[in-house]
Chains A and B, each alone.
Chain A
Amino acid sequence: MKANPATEAPPRAIQLEMYYYLRLTRALDERAQILYRQGKIIGGLFSSLGQEAISIGSAFALEKGDYVGPMIRNSGTVLARGHSAREVMSNYLGKATSPTGGKDNSQHFGDIGRTGVVSCISMLGTLVPVMAGMALGARMKGEKRVALTYVGDGAASTGDFYEGLVFASVQRLPLVVIIENNQYAYSTPTSKQSLLKDLADKSKAFGIPGYVGDGNDVLEVHSITRKCADDAREGRGPQLIEFKTLRMRGHAVHDDASYVPAELFEEWKKKDPIARFERKLRLSREEKESLEGRLKSTVDDAVDFAETSPVPPGEEACRGVFEDDRIVQFTPWWKKDA
């Protein structure tokens, strides 16, 4: 169904913050593209270009203390929920100072206690039941927290997506699932994932509300997500939202996305979420100058911090599998005294 946004747009000060985080997401993404070509990024690099509004609009719709499970293209969510640009950059570069200390790469980190962010894994859809369980746990402890997570048009085909929403719906858990329909799962178009015109119609399988929104309009994303988070918090069970967008780069840097028709890129370039929001916001010169300054210093500082940070020492590889490191560590035969 089309949403009837029940909430008003946030005040200008908040909108300016949303704009800053849209820009920060893109700026870090652009710098990461350069670092990747310099061979400095560990692992793949997955761009959120063109999809930033979904991350930022939804992240701003949550309350402090809510839980969020981002996917690989939700670096905006991670930033907007309180992780620093330094954390993002140092994790890309696999440094000892990064949130995972080099144990995992990319956008794979979080901090439940500090930001409510859960580290994602590459098996898509897995976060749906996990976030349902966090909502369950919070409810058992008498807390009114909402859990929100994202799947792509591809991950909406996984068993985890269905099983997680089956569990969440019969338990009436405060879970919001956003289908970020960017039209391609790697090279596979959405038409090869589902016969549905709107993936939000999958909500009918679970007896829960389903909404469709414009993923390139940050205020619409905010408004629909806000309504869904409020409903979930008030005990109306899980909510499913589909935001339509287009992934403006390949699956990762190595992929030139030649399978996407050029006219599709042209069409969606005109809908760029940052340019659209800019037209709406009409920034004053002072606002613009202060924002550009903050942006540049934040990004420069993050890159500098990441580049100058030490790499993790090799012996760290054997630590942290279990609470008790002795389980994994032992002296191999050739290192023992005769």
Chain B
Amino acid sequence: MPELTFLQAISRGLWEEMEADKSVFLMGEDIGRYGGAFKVTEGFLDRFGPERVLETPLAEEGFVGAAIGAAYVGLRPVVEFQFIDFIACAFDPIVNFACTSRYRWGQAVPVTFRGPWGGATKAGPFHSRNVEMWFAHAPGIKVVAPSTPSDAKGLIKACIRDNDPCLFLEHKALYRRIKEEVPDHSPPIPIGKARIVREGSGLTMVTYGLMVHRCLEALGQLQDLSVELIDLRTIYPLDRGALVESVKKTSKIMVVHEDTRTGGVAGEIAAIVNEEAFEDLDGPVIRVTSPDTPVPSAPSLEEAFLPSVRDIVDAARKLAAY
């Protein structure tokens, strides 16, 4: 079984889908000979040719619109954003066109948008953003954010095969940092299902993306507490059942995310737990998030911005003691 990095797992997932289905093709800037800014599509041009590894002009709004058009006529485009921050340039065709198409006139848009996402790489305000909630709040698109190589491979496949628009977020701080054995031709992993990373009975800790790994680090310092760690994997639709079930068991829940605080998914989870498991709660729903600022560039500032292992440990201890 090959051992794959997070990046290689995504690449492998794309490759296997392109091998299996001729309607799948890639679009994006520099994805051909150069292999993409992060080399996710290295070697694809030679195998699949320029028609299916389609290099675009620097025009996000244009090529996203074109991807939607291609999806309209039965293809399954996978659009790479060089950094997910640039998806803002294509906000209109995604939220107004792709997201509303099925609802307005019954026309499916099987398109996948993907790209490197998130901070902790000293990349500054325009190459570090957390865009998930912009889209979680735009009905009509699924938002997926894996944290392990096997989840990444399984979920990119699920996105490509899905008959609705999907946004697949790839934490670039994980690209080459984590490795895992992932079998060839592994099956897709269902969208909308959270994963229990570690079972526990005293406190539920919910997170996704890079923060899964920070939470795991924090658990090393919280061995006296029985923490249930949940990786959301999908931001929209949320696995409400898994969250409620866990709270019924632990009675306490905290949410950790790298995204900024106001309107972050932690607020939504707090509301779900409040509505559906209020009687089971033994403490307030706690949020550990970034502050409401752009992502700063200098390492000392960025570290202050991001939730740290220390923050997670302190929050967990305070909640556990409540």
Contact = CB atoms under 8 A, between A and B. Distances in A.
Interface residues of A, number: 48
A164 B65 contact: yes
B125 interface: no
Interface stretch (A25-33, A37-45, A51-59, A106-114): A106-114
A321 B105 CA distance: 10
Interface stretch (A14-22, A136-144, A236-244, A245-253): A136-144
B97 A121 contact: yes
Contacts of B309: none
B107 interface: yes
A5 interface: no
A133 B65 contact: yes
Interface string B122-139: 000000000000000001
Given A112-B73, A123-B92, A140-B25, A321 B103 contact: yes
A160 B107 contact: no
Given A138-B73, A141-B74, A129 B275 contact: no
A336 B307 CA distance: 37
B102 A163 contact: no
A112 B65 contact: no
Interface in B101-117: 101-108
B238 to A, nearest CB: 10
A76 interface: no
Contacts of B63: 129, 163, 167
Contact of A166 (B57, B101, B140): B57
Contact of B108 (A108, A166, A323, A332): A323
Interface string A75-109: 00000000000000000000000011001100011
A90 B293 CA distance: 48
B36 interface: no
- From DSSP, what is the main secondary structure of chain B's interface residues? helix
Contact of A167 (B56, B74, B92): B56
Name which of B51, B61, B62, B64 has the most chain A CB atoms within 10 A of its CB. Answer: B62
A99 B105 CA distance: 7
A44 B235 CA distance: 36
Interface string B61-75: 111111111111111
A67 to B, nearest CB: 8
B276 interface: yes
Q: Could you say which of A131, A138, A160, A328 has the most chain B C-beta atoms within 10 Å of its C-beta?
A: A160
Contacts of A130: 65-66, 68-69, 72, 93, 97
B291 to A, nearest CB: 31
Nearest to A160: B61
Nearest to A130: B69
Interface string B269-309: 00000011000000000000000000000000000000000
Chain A CB within 10 Å, residue with most, of B51, B59, B60, B74? B59
B74 A137 contact: yes
B54 to A, nearest CB: 8
Nearest to B89: A159
Nearest to A159: B61
A155 interface: no
Size class of the B contact interface (CB-based, 8 Å): 35 or more
Contacts of B51: 140
Given A130-B69, A133-B70, A333 B103 contact: no
B239 to A, nearest CB: 11
Contact of A327 (B104, B237, B276): B237
B96 interface: yes
Interface in A186-216: none
A166 B74 contact: no
B86 to A, nearest CB: 13
Contacts of A328: 139
A119 B108 CA distance: 12
A112 B69 contact: no
Contacts of B73: 67, 112, 134, 137-138, 141
Contacts of B67: 133
B192 interface: yes
A75 to B, nearest CB: 16
B97 A126 contact: yes
B11 interface: no
Given A130-B97, A138-B73, A333-B275, A164 B66 contact: yes
Contacts of A147: 69
B105 A104 contact: yes
B102 A167 contact: no
18 contacts: A100-B106, A104-B104, A111-B105, A119-B104, A121-B97, A123-B97, A126-B96, A129-B64, A132-B69, A133-B66, A133-B69, A133-B77, A137-B72, A137-B73, A160-B62, A166-B57, A323-B162, A332-B275
Interface of A: 67, 99-100, 103-104, 108-112, 118-119, 121-123, 126, 128-138, 140-141, 147, 159-160, 162-164, 166-168, 170, 320-323, 327-328, 330, 332-333
Given A110-B107, A321-B102, 4 more contacts: A137-B70, A137-B75, A147-B69, A332-B275
Q: Which 9 A-B pairs have the closest CB atoms?
A: A133-B69, A129-B65, A163-B62, A133-B66, A137-B73, A163-B59, A137-B70, A134-B69, A104-B104
